[in-house]
Amino acid sequence: MSELLIAGGRVVDPARGVDGRLDVLVREGEVVAVAPDLARGGSYERVLDASGLVVLPGLIDMNVQLREPGRSADETIASGAAAAVRGGFTAVAVMPNTEPAVDDEAGAEFQVLQGKRAGKAWIYPIGAVSRGLEGKALAELAGLKRGGAVAFSDGDRPLRSAEMLRCALLYAKMLDRVVVQHPEDYDLAKQGVMHSGRVSTILGLAGKSAASEQVMVSRDLTLAELTGAHLHLGRISTAGSLELIRVAKHKGVRVTCDVTPHHLSLTDEAVESFNPCYKVDPPLRTQRDVEALIEGVLDGTVDAIASDHAPHSPEKKDVEFQFAPSGVIGLETTLGVVIEHLVHGRGMPLTRLAELLSAGPARILGLPGGSLAPGAPGNVTVVDVDGAWTVGPEFVSRSQNSPFVGWTLRGQARYTVVDGQIAYAAEPAPAG
């Protein structure tokens, strides 16, 4: 019998309204009890001392790119799963922008199988909305669901056709799945490589305006209202977009959204260094946008924080800024950045942290987990919210393209428990 007692920690589980010093007992991969002083009531196969630490439902990252199949030099499912547990994530949802794209049942099944072989974090495929991510014909959405897809998206390629998005929303509604859309109007974004504003003008770099995101957000919200389907808008980056979403939610539109750690902590001024690790999509915006996103996180408008983990090997990323691919790695830094900037920096409650990184993603994608209720999966993240550490330059990920290298952050995963087993320990795990 597999048994693990996590003893003496502060358990924070917003889904159940729990916040207090409790023990968590996991047996045969499931939570069986959360109560005070379980450690005094008997002997257990394995005991993890969580004194002075915070015990959260296993963290879930709902926007990850793992590059397999097709671009294994950047990342594999195995290396990405290992990076995930190091960062405290017990489950990740994987975007379909692989080569070939995950646009059929077999593609989704392959990712699930590779995740099981890796034996670290749970892997959930997000299936393509369109065949080959080309935006021309709908993919086999029902087959993708059978293969294990938990949502549908064309990843970092927005659906340009309003009619295709309308149809996708209706099909996804019938299949009880959510459509995840990256809102960007290509005609307005053109060849921009950073935010369009004062800094881009000074640097002489082509910019992407805030309007290129907001126009698409407005269109997509209209279609969500029309169909009554669940639309998730990923990687929101502007104050205007967030206000549109806030108004839509008040109207009863079924919309959720996420933001990234880098859009909560960096501005377009970082690009003055021409470091390609600051080239992301959507681009880093202004301080006003950062403040608006933080306000949305704190007031509940934002439903989740996602890493947008986008690995690129050094030979691809370490080139001139305008020629570098967009994207940064984030699985190993998201928790630390969020705790440092929002918990310590803005006084965000730990209940909100758990909501944004666990309960929220689970609810949006309809996943098991997000809570430590009896019967829930034995996926647990044990966090040291005050422990300071320095980022990089070495990572478990195959790629190193992090914008946070050299930063000192407070907050890290001490233990990551998956299926009742310690998948990662920042220090030697207890014997047993």
How many CA atoms within 13 Å lie on the side-chain side of 155?
A: 26
C-beta separation of 421 from 2 below 8 A: yes
pLDDT at 39: 85
Q: Which residue(s) pair with 259 in the sheet?
A: 305
pLDDT per position as a tens digit, 295-349: 999 999 999 999 999 999 999 999 999 999 999 999 999 999 999 999 999 999 9
**Dist. CA 305–CA 261, nearest whole Å:** 7
Residue 66: both structure tokens together = 């793992």
pLDDT at 211: 98
Spatial CB neighbours of 230, under 8 Å, sequence gap ≥ 6: 172, 173, 178, 179, 224, 254, 255, 256
Stretch 230-253: mean pLDDT: 99
pLDDT per position as a tens digit, 390-428: 998 999 999 999 999 999 999 999 999 999 999 999 975
Which of these is catalytic: 281, 308, 318, 419? Answer: 308
**Dist. CA 367–CA 415, nearest whole Å:** 22
Question: How is residue 172 annotated by DSSP?
Answer: H
pLDDT higher than 80, residue 212: yes
Residue 430's pLDDT band, with cuts at 50, 70 and 90, is: low
Residue 42's pLDDT band, with cuts at 50, 70 and 90, is: confident
Annotated catalytic, 308?
A: yes
pLDDT at 1: 62
**Dist. CA 198–CA 316, nearest whole Å:** 28
pLDDT per position as a tens digit, 65-94: 999 999 999 999 999 999 999 999 999 999
pLDDT per position as a tens digit, 118-138: 999 999 999 999 999 999 999
**Dist. CA 414–CA 52, nearest whole Å:** 11
Domains and CATH numbers, the chain: 3-55+378-425 (2.30.40.10), 58-365 (3.20.20.140)
**Dist. CA 69–CA 89, nearest whole Å:** 22
Q: Which residues of 70-106 are buried (b: 16+ CB within 10 A; e: fewer)?
A: ebbebbbbbbbbbbbbbbbbbbbbbbbbbeebbbbbe
Question: How is residue 430 annotated by DSSP?
Answer: P
pLDDT higher than 60, residue 429: no
**Dist. CA 292–CA 199, nearest whole Å:** 19
pTM check: above 0.95 = yes
